[in-house]
Amino acid sequence: MAKSPDQEHPQKAFGWAARDKSGLFSPFHFSRRENGDEDVTIKILFCGVCHSDVCIAKNEWGFTNYPVVPGHEIVGTVTTVGSNVKKFKVGERVGVGVIVGSCKKCESCQQDLENYCPQTIFTYNSHYTDGAKTYGGYSDMIVVDERYVLHFPDNLPSEGGAPLLCAGITVYSPMKYYGMTEPGKHLGVAGLGGLGHVAVKMGKAFGLKVTVISSSPKKEAEAIERLGADSFLVTSDPTKMKAALGTMDYIIDTVSAVHALFPLLSLLKPNGKLVTVGLPDKPLELPIFPLVLGRKLVGGSNIGGMKETQEMLDFCAKHGITADVEVIRMDYLNTAIERLAKSDVRYRFVIDVASSLSQ
Ligand code: NAP
Ligand code: ZN
């Protein structure tokens, strides 16, 4: 008979798990593997709450394996290093993002694109090569192969820096890959949530003109005054949408729900690029006419490789980019998940794991 989660491995661990598609979280005892030669054991300090955590907790994508302990925006302190670990020392502050493993051999892995390896091991709701389940950062500690651990720059605060490990790299990587960083060009950011608000800040750091494209009129003042956007468009305002037709060079689409692409494609200039990183639970309709007639491009992107994630953290440290966060205690998690599902957060919940997780 299979061992129970708390008996499976030698190291005791404790966190909060969702048990079924209600997505309700409750305390959960489980275990982690012994620290191996290439491993780093991390005491978790803070963990961001990504919209993907909600989708997995509620099985919206249909592949949740309960019980699930989400969390892939992890900042913590190294407590143990394996004998072959070269990059990290005990006591150092580090980050762990969306992936904790990959095959290390394929073309993608060899090009530092572990995020596109066919055998990527995700930080939670996934399996290690030995079949053990992965559990994420809504927990007290984690054991991770050093390849998938990041140095956390000294001048980045843990709370505001944690969301960069998913939200940050998810918008940084496509901006670099698709050439969306040319100073003076016009970037549209669709969806002003966790990913979107970081995209605004990065766009400004790259020297772009940034317009937020939002379904929430209430976010206008803060988008401009607090986040530094140059302008703001509400998708439900036909006059403003019409005036902005054909004005944008690039759009990064972070919207989490099913939405129409036609209005977004129409905002692009000829040769414009729309990169979608949001993951709605149903397919979007692709309007061919504006695409063909304007030689426009629609692309996708999935987080980033380890090398680029480190580069992104260093870029954010240099430019003073952090997420705007609401720090919460672990016992507020169920309320936070409900609020996040309604886009009621400015702009990322981050759990103060170390000081609020008690057994
Ligand atoms: P979030 O904080 O909830 O933000 C999503 C935003 O989408 C909301 O703030 C809202 O912005 C907009 N939105 C939500 N419901 C909407 C609706 N019904 N109609 C129109 N707009 C709506 O989520 P997030 O953490 O930024 O994640 C965004 C998406 O990216 C999610 O689907 C997530 O799963 C996915 N994701 C993908 C990757 C990747 O690697 N590709 C990585 C992380 C997350 P407005 O109020 O401004 O309209
Ligand atoms: Zn995420």
* pLDDT tens-digit map of 163-182: 999 999 999 999 999 999 99
User: Is the pLDDT at 2 greater than 80, yes or no?
Assistant: no
What is the arithmetic mean of pLDDT over 34-41? Answer: 98
Identify which ligand lies nearest to the alpha carbon of 302.
Answer: 1
Indicate whether residue 278 lines ligand 1 (CB < 6 A). yes
CA of 303 to the centre of ligand 2 (A): 8
Q: What is the pLDDT of residues 5-22, one digit of tens each?
A: 988 899 999 999 999 999
Give me the residue label for tokens 């798990």: 17
pLDDT of residue 1: 59
Separation in Å, CA 159 to CA 75, 106, 155, 312: 8, 34, 12, 17
Burial class (CB in 10 A: 0-12, 13-18, 19+), 10: exposed
* Angle, CA of 349, 216 and 206, to the nearest 5°: 70
d(CA 4, CA 27): 15
Q: What percent of the chain has pLDDT over 70?
A: 100
Please check whether residue 141 is in contact with residue 44, taking contact to mean a CB–CB distance below 8 angstroms. yes
pLDDT of residue 356: 94
What is the arithmetic mean of pLDDT over 123-139? Answer: 96
Indicate whether residue 216 lines ligand 1 (CB < 6 A). yes
Please check whether residue 94 is in contact with residue 152, taking contact to mean a CB–CB distance below 8 angstroms. yes
What is the arithmetic mean of pLDDT over 89-98? Answer: 98
Identify which ligand lies nearest to the alpha carbon of 212.
Answer: 1
Please tell me the residue having the least CA distance from ligand 1 atom 36: 278
Mutate to test the pocket of ligand 1, among 58, 178, 195 (most ligand atoms within 8 A of CB): 195
* pLDDT class of 358 with cuts at 50, 70, 90: confident
Q: What is the pLDDT of residues 202-251, one digit of tens each?
A: 999 999 999 999 999 999 999 999 999 999 999 999 999 999 999 999 99
Instruction: List the one residue out of 314, 318, 325, 319 whose CA is nearest residue 348.
Output: 325
pLDDT of residue 144: 98
Write the CB contacts of 143 (distance below 8 Å, at least 6 apart in sequence). 11, 32, 33, 34, 35, 36, 39, 40, 41, 42
Please tell me the residue having the least CA distance from ligand 1 atom 9: 193
Indicate whether residue 305 lines ligand 1 (CB < 6 A). no
Identify which ligand lies nearest to the alpha carbon of 115.
Answer: 1
Please tell me the residue having the least CA distance from ligand 1 atom 15: 257
pLDDT of residue 209: 98
pLDDT of residue 292: 96
Identify which ligand lies nearest to the alpha carbon of 51.
Answer: 1
What is the arithmetic mean of pLDDT over 272-301? Answer: 96
What is the arithmetic mean of pLDDT over 260-274? Answer: 97
Indicate whether residue 194 lines ligand 1 (CB < 6 A). yes
- What SS3 class is residue 85? coil
Mutate to test the pocket of ligand 1, among 50, 195, 256, 338 (most ligand atoms within 8 A of CB): 256
Identify which ligand lies nearest to the alpha carbon of 170.
Answer: 1
Indicate whether residue 209 lines ligand 1 (CB < 6 A). no
Please check whether residue 32 is in contact with residue 13, taking contact to mean a CB–CB distance below 8 angstroms. yes
Q: Which token pair is 311?
A: 């580069």
Burial class (CB in 10 A: 0-12, 13-18, 19+), 226: middle
d(CA 314, CA 153): 7
Give the helix, strand, coil percentages of the chain, each rounded to 5.
Answer: 30, 30, 45
Indicate whether residue 192 lines ligand 1 (CB < 6 A). yes
- What SS3 class is residue 297? strand
d(CA 324, CA 123): 23
User: Is the pLDDT at 359 greater than 90, yes or no?
Assistant: no
Indicate whether residue 58 lines ligand 1 (CB < 6 A). no
CA of 243 to the centre of ligand 2 (A): 34
CA of 209 to the centre of ligand 1 (A): 21
pTM: 0.97
Task: Return the higher-pLDDT residue of 10 and 359.
Answer: 10
CA of 48 to the centre of ligand 2 (A): 8
What are the φ/ψ torsions at residue 29 (nearest 5 degrees)?
-95, 130
Helix ranges, the chain (H): 51-57, 107-110, 158-161, 167-177, 194-205, 220-225, 238-243, 262-267, 288-293, 306-319, 333-341, 353-356
Indicate whether residue 279 lines ligand 1 (CB < 6 A). yes
What secondary structure letter does DSSP report for 67?
S
What is the arithmetic mean of pLDDT over 54-83? Answer: 97
Mean pLDDT of the chain: 97
